[in-house]
Amino acid sequence: MPMIIKTTKSLCPVCGKVLPADIIEEDGAIWIVRNCPEHGTQKYLYWSDAEMFKQFEEFEGIGGGVENPQRFADESECPYACGLCNNHKSSTLLGNIDLTNRCNLDCEFCFANARACGYIYEPSFEEIIDMLKMLRNERPVPCPAIQFSGGEPTLRDDLVEIVQAAHDLEFSQIQLATNGIKLAASKDLVCGLRDAGLSTVYLHFDGTTKETNRLINISKRVVANCREFGVGIMLVPTIINGVNDHDVGNIIKYAADNVDTIRGVNFQPVAFTGAMSADQIAQKRVTIPDLLQRIEEQTDGILKKKYFYPVPCVLPLTHLAEAYTGEPQVAFTVHQHCGAATYGFVTEKGMKPINELVDVDAFFAAVDEMSERLSKGGTINKYKTLIEGVRDINRSVKNKNELNTSLWKILKDTLIKQDFESLAEFHWNALFVGTMHFMDNFNYDVQRVQRCCIHYATPDGRIIPFCTYNSGPVFREQVWKKYSKPMDHQEEIANLD
């Protein structure tokens, strides 16, 4: 019997109308159901594992939005009222800027590149600076991280200057989303980007073989070039059921084999754009629990499904930092069903999941306890409270021998000495394995997008959540068209060998 778990709002996938929606449990899975007066009842898979859905629900942490919203709107206007409005519940953790829609590839599924659009979208250097400043002006917490995307952002001749400008504006993380073709071909570009302040390359990487990843040879050259210049890489595979879902274990293994350069893998289950039949969607859909199941099976049970936690699980660390500093801090208040992550330690004996080294629940409980004591104790007892807190955290460590030289030292340095640089060291020992499932109009949940922390800055002075920019209202199309220029030439398609 179907059972309503909660209610939300969704969109009609045919006409885009905002509709009341039920999130229901049926046959062990979670579905989102709504009824459009014109296009009838629409029911689509939301999560394939009802039990895990409920466990993740426990981590809900709703943020307070920003102090300086860009507009005031009625809640009923959501998700059609962006830039960031008074109803949005999270600040920007990661800002995105599309630098161009030009691309040196011709992927069939891409409706966004200049070739498919028939026009060029490419903001000027000055417009990009204005967008970066707008993100840094967010209050109370300025946006800390920026990702440059496209199209293919490396096609811009002024990319190094743009990265330098982001660095000068004190973004602490500067990321580049790329197919890697230009980085594979030019060590000078990798070196220049590193010198300008690039932190991490977000490399499209859909698999480990020619069948799953036609760019595999290029990807390997990018890894070699980034290794030479000490630039970190995050692999970004889009996972499609029946296409590359059998390769997720190999992708993690490839990342672990190159852990000196590859910081992690951020899997993105496919989100569908355009019209599709329910059968086509059912055939290709991968939800977060499906992906985690594949990871468990294909890593021989090393990274178990139950080891993954939803993004807001790290909120206790925000509360601790706020209690310690007395200032608002970056808060991961993204919706609990948007993403999940874990860490694996790569050792000589193979990968060790962090959950086998630390009792993660006890760790966060100890952090919670520490922030509560800090908030009550004022500033005088701060240091004493931290020492006691770290002792409590020590109880959550299961295997102290393995942790003595790595994670444990980093925790102590971070929490007691407030040496946040040591967190960077963490990445050299550990591999991040995470996933974010961007929404499409079939599984759209307005509550999720209202808590989105990944936002685009646009030249019309708006900050727009990822899942209204690329799906739902698809503000990207409006912005790109408004700022479009005629196409003066066809971009050359790169040779992939």
String of contacts with ligand SF4 for each residue 233-272, x by CB under 6 A: ----------------------------------------
Catalogue the E-assigned strands of 270-338. 309-310
Tokens of 264: 């992690």
Decide if residue 315 touches ligand SF4 (CB under 6 A): no
Shortest distance in whole angstroms from residue 287 CB to ligand SF4 = 12
d(CA 194, CA 160): 9
Tokens of 485: 């220029």
| Residue 99 near residue 148, CB atoms below 8 Å | yes
Q: At 296, is the secondary structure helix, strand, or coil?
A: helix
- Maximal C-alpha separation, the chain: 66
Q: Is 439 in the site for ligand SF4 (CB under 6 A)?
A: yes
Report in angstroms how near the CB of residue 187 gets to ligand SF4 at its nearest.
33
**Which residue's CB is nearer to ligand SF4, number 87 or number 244?**
87
Let me know: does 231 contact 201? Beta carbons within 8 Å.
yes
- CA gap 48, 30 in Å, rounded: 6
Q: Which of residues 461-490 bind ligand SF4 (CB under 6 A)?
A: 465-468
Task: Tell me, by CB under 6 A, how many residues bind ligand SF4.
Answer: 26
SS3 163: helix
Please identify which residue in 338, 340, 354, 494 interacts with ligand SF4, judged by CB under 6 A: 338
457 lines the binding site for ligand SF4 (CB under 6 A):
no
Q: Is the separation of the CB atoms in 297 and 275 below 8 Å?
A: no
Compute the least distance from the CB of residue 438 to ligand SF4, in Å: 5
283 to 58, 243, 337: CA distances (angstroms): 30, 10, 21
Note whether 438 binds ligand SF4 by CB under 6 A. Answer: yes
Closest separation in Å from C-beta 60 to ligand SF4: 13
Among 450, 456, 458, 479, binds ligand SF4 (CB under 6 A): 450
Contacts (CB under 6 A) with ligand SF4, residues 339-398: none
Secondary element (H or E) of residue 393: helix 382-395
CB of 82 to ligand SF4, least distance (A): 3
> In the complex, what is the shortest distance from the CB of residue 152 to ligand SF4, in angstroms, rounded to a whole number?
21
Out of 50, 78, 166, 430, the residue judged to bind ligand SF4 by CB under 6 A: 78
- Residue 446: CB minimum distance to ligand SF4, A: 7
Dist CA 488 CA 470 (whole Å)? 26
Among 156, 263, 285, 335, binds ligand SF4 (CB under 6 A): 335
Closest distance to ligand SF4 from the beta carbon of 240 (Å): 17
Q: Which residue has the tokens 């949005």?
A: 88
Say if CB 334 and CB 383 are below 8 A apart.
no
Q: Is residue 345 within 8 Å of residue 352, measured between CB atoms?
A: yes
Residues engaged in binding ligand SF4 (CB under 6 A): 73, 78-79, 81-82, 84-85, 87-88, 334-335, 338, 436-439, 448-450, 452-454, 465-468
